[in-house]
Amino acid sequence: MFNLRLTRREAPIRGGQVLAFTVGLIGALALGAILLMVDGHNPIDIYKKMADSAFGSPQAWSTTLTQAVPLGLAGLAVAVAGSMGLWNIGAEGQIIAGAIAGTWVARLGPDLPGPALITLMLLASVVGGGFLALGPALARAHLGVNEIITTLMLNEIAIRIVRYLVNGPWKDPTAVGFPVAPELPEQSALPILFERANIGVLIAAFVLLAFGFFASRSKWGYELRVAGSSAQAAEYVGISLRTKILTVLVLSGAIAGLAGGIRLGTSSRIVEGIAEGWGFAGIIVAALALMRPSGVAAVAVAFGALRVGTVAIKGEGVPASIADILQALVLIGALTAGVFTTYRLTRSTTSKEVATT
């Protein structure tokens, strides 16, 4: 009927990341305002409440940043793989693997001093996440197995392993009610920066900046960009695609595992839902950032603020369904706008039209 199709632009629109999120936000707020008015709420008051809860005080900022840390690391994990045209859908499981490895270290050395214990736990979480990504990396590099399937399947494996540990060998014998793991040593908690925010904010910021700098300034980063843009060109100049696939997917898993270690250092014990959906949300963050590590941090903070804001308005009498719809509208709007920074709508010519010309 309309004969419309998406056609890739010769060059993406400059500032596409910011433009996409801004356009998506404006469109979502406009549609959300209609929903709120129909439900009898003043949209201005509700949006002001969302902004205040996310940015209105040091306490609000600390809550937003606490949400943004795992979002940013999970988003970076997905973006790292995406920079080479790969999809790591297993960040959720890799976060869990990182938390399991960190807990294991804490159980082995409960009497270690805080700095040593925290360092070892974080290093173990990096190894744990990377280890879970190693299988899919080997399968893709040497057998050509689609990494989407293997990384996705390992999410369920990680979920079942942590469930077994919490309900079995790591079960707290003194717990009353549903099974939980024993509390971690007190010195394993990450030091607080301000209010609720801990040094995980600085760790995540360092990882984001370090990877961005390394990817843009090093030979490895250059080879990664070449391999991601054209496999034939990479092979022609002598870049090993197998090595790059292995490196990128394992690094992606290690970054997600670090998110699990930081979440563990924020809580008092490992639980079945330690990942809290951060790995899957990281896919959205990476997509909103157009798979560019440079945009992940900003999108993670914005997404974290959105999550904090929607939780806050649920306490103001706004139905949970509308609050969730508002969050979904922003994400869908931003993703849709992001598509149009790279593609444009064109009218295709049908065979009938060709015949009459």
Are the beta carbons of 205 and 297 closer than 8 angstroms? yes
Residue with tokens 């940043």: 65
Q: Is the pLDDT of residue 80 over 60?
A: yes
Q: How confident is the model at residue 349 (pLDDT cuts 50, 70, 90)?
A: low
First and final C-alpha spacing in the chain: 19
Looking at this protein, which amino acid is placed at residue 68? Answer: A
Q: Is the pLDDT of residue 228 over 80?
A: no
Q: What is the mean pLDDT of residues 314-340?
A: 79
pLDDT in tens, 268-324: 889 888 998 899 999 988 888 878 777 899 889 988 998 898 888 887 778 888 888
Are the beta carbons of 274 and 263 closer than 8 angstroms? yes
Predicted confidence at residue 84, as pLDDT, reads 85
Rg of the chain over CA atoms, in angstroms?
22
Q: Who has greater pLDDT, 8 or 143?
A: 143
Are the beta carbons of 135 and 115 closer than 8 angstroms? no
Q: Is the pLDDT of residue 171 over 80?
A: yes
User: Residue 168 in 3-state DSSP?
Assistant: coil
Residue with tokens 């999410």: 155
Predicted confidence at residue 237, as pLDDT, reads 77
Are the beta carbons of 117 and 265 closer than 8 angstroms? no
Q: Who has greater pLDDT, 303 or 357?
A: 303
Percent over 90 (pLDDT), the chain? 47
Q: How confident is the model at residue 145 (pLDDT cuts 50, 70, 90)?
A: very high
Element (H, E) at 156: helix 147-167
The pTM of the full predicted model, rounded to 2 decimals, is 0.89
Exposure letters 44-60 (e unless 16+ CB within 10 A, then b): eebbebbeebbeeeeeb
Are the beta carbons of 218 and 280 closer than 8 angstroms? no
